[in-house]
């Protein structure tokens, strides 16, 4: 259902194309509620929101409305890991078992932090069933994670770890942090508080769910109206309830994606898929990284490494889980094939199920954030975020 909406917020001169694309997403691409933001370093140049934060279109999307962003959380987590590397607590090229001895069994002895971050560890799914209540017990969860055998020879291929990536990285951070803080707490204290971010990995009880947009699955005729990039090969596995893609997307079992805006899901730290926040916050942290403003607890040399155009991957580009070419670099996505973002190969960020996206464009010093509540079905390249980032590229 297309409709005319009132777009709220501000856009700097020269970025009007982004506002136009944002408005067109409502008119022709089934947007219900959404927000988009762009920061040049620490300065907002685009800050827009519109539509509704509920499926029935009764509650307006407001300036401080947050949304579950699924795997866009992975970029935030990768920044936390980078901060630990910057502090000398971790080394990307060291074995995970150096910091987590129990991890080094069942063929995982040589897996490096780098391989774990770049989805090469073969740990995309767990053999033992794990649910939300299990994820809330980090000590018990660590035992399950450490016992898991790789599903392929680590370092030879990559396959997206939709949820398990964050669980492994979260335990790694808990092991090396001097105070043994959880990853969500490290982010809250070392990133969110100094930068004034509305973004959480583990939603505090003090934050009202009224601020969180309700997600809406795309169903029925709306699939034909708005979706052009359907993941048919993954869909076959999901329908048959078998195959690596099905296993990875259902391990751990956290419930239907459209039900993510519930406290029992958001309060559990899931550093790969459980983040909730504003587009403004995504753009703010990526803007600080892209502009190297000195506000992040990550040194300039390491930020340059995150922006490296050479991902130096010796593994095939075909993703064993997503069944499409993909590239990863130190926990972030890089442009690959037809999926392009930023103005050159240095750009890095992460996409989230349904369409959300955050990325840094070091060539321009811009950080981008997009959140929404209609869940698109593309594997990587949702048409709405593509419209916005192409408009941004034309603007710069």
Share of the chain above pLDDT 90, in %: 94
The domain spans of the chain are: 1-396
Instruction: Provide CB contacts within 8 A for 386, sequence distance 6+.
Output: none
pLDDT category of residue 337 using cuts at 50, 70 and 90: confident
Distance in angstroms (rounded) separating the CA atoms of residues 335 and 387? 16
Q: Are residues 180 and 174 in contact, defined by beta-carbon separation less than 8 angstroms?
A: yes
- The 10s digit of each residue's pLDDT in 260-275 is 999 999 999 999 999 9
- The pLDDT tens digits of the residues spanning 106-116 come to 999 999 999 99
Q: Quick one: pLDDT band at residue 3, thresholds 50, 70, 90?
A: low
Q: Residue for token digits 């995150």?
A: 306
Distance (Å, rounded) from C-alpha 181 to C-alpha 290?
Answer: 27
Could you report the per-residue pLDDT of 175-227, keeping only the tens digit for each?
A: 999 999 999 999 999 999 999 999 999 999 999 999 999 999 999 999 999 99
pTM: 0.97
In 315-377, the DSSP E strands lie at 327-329, 332-334, 348-351, 357-361, 366-372, 374-375
The span from the CA of 338 to the CA of 381, in Å, is 9
Tokens 């601020």 identify what position?
211
Q: What is the mean pLDDT of residues 125-134?
A: 96
Q: Tell me whether residue 278 is exposed, middle or buried, using C-beta atoms within 10 angstroms of its C-beta: 0 to 12, 13 to 18, 19 or more.
A: buried
Task: For the chain, give the mean pLDDT.
Answer: 95
Q: How many CB atoms lie within 10 A of CB 382?
A: 28
- Residue 381 CB burial class (10 angstroms; 0-12, 13-18, ≥19): buried
Q: What pairs with residue 35 in β-bridges?
A: 49, 371
Q: How far is CA 319 from CA 26, 221, 253, in A?
A: 32, 30, 22
Q: Across the chain, how many H-helices and E-strands are there?
A: 15, 13
Closest CA to 173 of 83, 110, 262, 104: 83
The set of long-range contacts for 393-396, using a CB threshold of 8 Å and a minimum separation of 24, is 393/342, 393/343, 394/17, 395/14, 395/15, 395/16, 395/17, 395/18, 396/343, 396/364, 396/366
Residue 55 scores a pLDDT above 50:
yes
Residue 33 pairs with which residues in a beta bridge? 51
Tokens 């505090």 label which residue?
A: 204
State the catalytic residues. 71
Say yes or no to pLDDT of 2 above 70: no
Alpha helices (runs of H) in the chain, residue ranges in sequence order:
16-28, 73-86, 113-117, 132-135, 138-147, 164-176, 183-187, 193-195, 221-226, 232-240, 244-249, 263-266, 279-290, 300-306, 383-395
At 349, give phi and psi (nearest 5°): 180, -165
Q: What is the pLDDT of residues 338-372, one digit of tens each?
A: 899 999 999 999 999 999 999 999 999 999 999 99
Specify the CATH number for 1-396; select among 3.30.200.20, 3.40.710.10, 3.10.150.10, 3.40.50.300. Answer: 3.40.710.10
Q: What is the pLDDT of residue 212?
A: 98
- Tokens representing 316 are 């095939």
pLDDT value for 313: 57
Q: Which two tokens stand for residue 10?
A: 């501000």
185, with CB counted inside 10 A (0-12, 13-18, 19+), is middle
Short-list 186, 165, 194, CA closest to 73: 165
């Amino acid at each position: 259902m297309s409709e005319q909406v009132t777009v709220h917020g501000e856009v700097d001169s020269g970025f009007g194309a982004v506002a136009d694309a944002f408005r067109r997403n409502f008119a022709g691409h089934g947007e219900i509620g959404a927000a988009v933001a762009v920061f040049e370093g620490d300065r907002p140049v685009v800050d827009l929101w519109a539509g509704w934060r509920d499926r029935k279109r009764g509650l307006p999307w407001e300036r401080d409305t947050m949304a579950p962003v699924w795997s866009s959380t992975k970029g935030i987590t990768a920044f936390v890991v980078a901060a630990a590397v910057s502090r000398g607590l971790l080394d990307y090229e060291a074995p995970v078992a150096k910091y987590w001895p129990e991890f080094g069994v069942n063929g995982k002895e040589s897996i490096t932090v780098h391989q774990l971050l770049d989805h090469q560890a073969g740990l995309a799914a767990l053999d033992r069933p794990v649910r939300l209540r299990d994820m809330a017990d980090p000590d018990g969860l660590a035992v399950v994670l450490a016992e898991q055998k790789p599903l392929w020879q680590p370092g030879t291929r990559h396959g997206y770890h939709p949820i398990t990536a964050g669980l492994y990285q979260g335990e790694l951070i808990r092991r090396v942090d001097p105070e043994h803080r959880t990853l969500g707490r490290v982010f809250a204290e070392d990133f969110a508080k100094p930068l004034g971010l509305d973004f959480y990995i583990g939603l505090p009880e003090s934050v009202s769910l009224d601020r969180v947009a309700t997600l809406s699955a795309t169903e029925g005729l709306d699939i034909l109206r708005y979706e052009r990039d359907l993941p048919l090969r993954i869909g076959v596995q999901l329908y048959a309830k078998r195959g690596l893609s099905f296993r990875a997307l259902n391990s751990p079992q956290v419930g239907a994606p459209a039900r993510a805006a519930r406290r029992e899901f958001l309060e559990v730290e899931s550093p790969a898929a459980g983040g909730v926040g504003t587009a403004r916050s995504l753009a703010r942290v990526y803007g600080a990284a892209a502009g190297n403003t000195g506000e992040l607890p990550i040194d300039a040399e390491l930020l340059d490494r995150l922006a490296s155009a050479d991902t130096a991957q010796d593994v095939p580009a075909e993703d064993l889980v997503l069944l499409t070419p993909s590239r990863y670099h130190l926990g972030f996505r890089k442009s690959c094939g037809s999926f392009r973002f930023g103005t050159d190969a240095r750009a890095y960020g992460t996409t989230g199920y349904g369409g959300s996206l955050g990325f840094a464009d070091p060539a321009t010093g811009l950080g981008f954030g997009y959140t929404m509540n209609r869940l698109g079905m593309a594997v990587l390249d949702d048409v709405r975020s593509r419209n916005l980032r192409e408009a941004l590229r034309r603007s710069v």
